[in-house]
C-alpha cells in the first residue's frame, strides 16, 4: 500500500512516481540577473504529430510560469490547481500570489497524496519560475512534495547531463539572452544533439517587466539558429 513504509524506510509508490519523472522529457530552468528562463524538450515522437499541440510550459499567472516533466495529464491537473490558487489569492487579497507561497501550496497538496490509501502520488515534477517583490525565483517540486529553490536546475530524463553543464558554466550575473544560450547548450547535451526549433519551447519572465510569456516559433528559431554546439 502507498502509505506503508518498507523495512528500510522507503515509500515505494513515491519512488515509482519519481521514476515517471526521470523518464519524462527534459526541462531546464535558469535564473539570470534580469529574469528567469524555462526551456523544455517537447520530444515530437511522430512526423504526423502537430508540434504546437505539445505543451510543456504553462502560464499560471501574469508573473508565474511552469515547466513540467513526467505524466502530462498529472502536470495539467497541477497547473489547473495552481491557476485556481492564483485566482483565489487575487480575489481574497487583491494582489498577485508570491511565487514561494504558490509553490508551497502545490507541494502541500502533492505531499498529502503520499499519506492516504486509494490514491497515488502525482507522476510529475514542476519547475516554477516567477518574480515576486522584484526578486527572481525558481523552484523545483517532486512527487513527494519536496520543494527546493535553485539558481539553475533540470528535471526529466536528461537531468544528469543538464546539471553537469549548469554546474560548470552557470553565471549568476548573466543576462536573459546569455542564459537562454546556456539552457540550449544544456538541452543539447541532454538530448545528444537531437533537437530542432519544433522540439524546443522557451518561456521567459523579466525582472523589470514581470510578465511571463512563451516565445513564438520565430523567436525560438532565432536563438536555436545562433546556437553552436
The answer to whether residue 47 scores a pLDDT higher than 90 is no
Q: How far apart are CA 156 and CA 72, in angstroms?
A: 12
Per the listing, cell 544560450 goes with 181
Q: In the sheet that 200-206 helps form, which strands lie side by side, from edge to edge?
A: 152-155, 27-32, 35-41, 200-206, 213-214
Q: How far apart are CA 54 and CA 44, in angstroms?
A: 8
Grid cell of 182 as nine digits: 546556456
Burial call 98-108: b when 16+ CB within 10 Å, e when fewer: bbbebbebbbe
Please name every residue paired with 137 in a beta bridge, in sequence order, or none if there are none: 130
For the stretch 70-123, pLDDT in tens is 999 999 999 999 999 999 999 999 999 999 999 999 999 999 999 988 899 999
Percent of the chain with pLDDT over 90: 85
The β-bridge relationship of strands 27-32 and 35-41 is antiparallel
Kindly state the helix (H) or strand (E) to which residue 52 belongs, with its residue range: none
pLDDT band at 32 (very low <50, low <70, confident <90, very high): very high
Question: For residue 2, what pLDDT is reported?
Answer: 67
Q: DSSP secondary-structure letter at 20?
A: H
How far from 132 is each of 98, 196, 207, CA to CA, in Å?
A: 6, 33, 9
Q: DSSP secondary-structure letter at 209?
A: S
Query: Dihedral of CA 222/139/59/122: which sign?
Result: positive
pTM of the model: 0.95
For the stretch 126-177, pLDDT in tens is 999 999 999 999 999 999 999 999 999 999 999 999 999 999 999 999 999 9
Contact 127, 27 (CB under 8 A): yes
The pLDDT mean for the chain works out to 94
The answer to whether residue 192 scores a pLDDT higher than 90 is no
Question: For residue 197, what pLDDT is reported?
Answer: 84
The domains found in the chain, sorted by start residue, are 20-45+54-224 (3.60.20.10)
The answer to whether residue 42 scores a pLDDT higher than 80 is yes
Q: Which of 7-11, 44-48, 59-63 is the least confident region?
A: 44-48
Of the ranges 166-170, 193-197, 224-228, the best mean pLDDT one: 166-170
Amino acid at each position: 500500500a502507498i502509505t506503508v513504509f518498507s523495512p528500510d524506510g522507503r515509500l515505494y509508490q513515491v519512488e515509482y512516481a519519481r521514476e515517471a519523472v526521470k523518464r519524462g522529457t527534459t526541462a531546464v530552468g535558469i535564473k539570470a540577473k534580469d529574469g528567469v528562463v524555462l526551456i523544455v524538450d517537447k520530444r515530437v515522437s511522430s512526423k504526423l504529430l502537430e508540434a504546437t499541440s505539445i505543451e510543456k510550459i504553462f502560464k499560471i499567472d501574469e508573473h508565474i510560469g511552469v515547466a513540467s516533466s513526467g505524466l502530462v495529464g498529472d502536470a495539467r491537473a497541477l497547473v489547473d490547481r495552481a491557476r485556481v490558487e492564483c485566482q483565489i489569492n487575487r480575489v481574497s487579497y487583491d494582489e498577485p500570489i508570491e511565487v514561494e507561497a504558490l509553490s508551497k501550496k502545490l507541494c502541500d497538496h502533492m505531499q498529502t497524496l503520499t499519506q492516504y490509501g486509494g490514491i497515488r502520488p502525482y507522476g510529475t515534477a514542476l519547475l516554477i519560475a516567477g518574480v515576486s517583490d522584484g526578486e527572481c525565483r525558481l523552484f523545483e517540486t517532486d512527487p513527494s512534495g519536496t520543494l527546493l529553490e535553485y539558481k539553475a536546475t533540470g528535471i526529466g530524463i536528461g537531468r544528469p547531463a543538464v546539471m553537469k553543464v549548469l554546474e560548470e558554466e552557470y553565471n549568476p550575473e548573466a543576462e536573459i539572452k546569455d542564459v537562454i544560450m546556456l539552457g540550449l547548450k544544456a538541452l543539447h547535451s541532454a538530448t545528444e544533439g537531437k533537437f530542432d526549433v519544433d522540439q524546443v519551447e522557451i518561456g521567459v519572465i523579466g525582472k523589470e517587466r514581470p510578465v511571463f510569456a512563451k516565445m513564438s516559433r520565430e523567436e525560438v528559431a532565432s536563438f536555436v539558429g545562433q546556437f553552436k554546439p
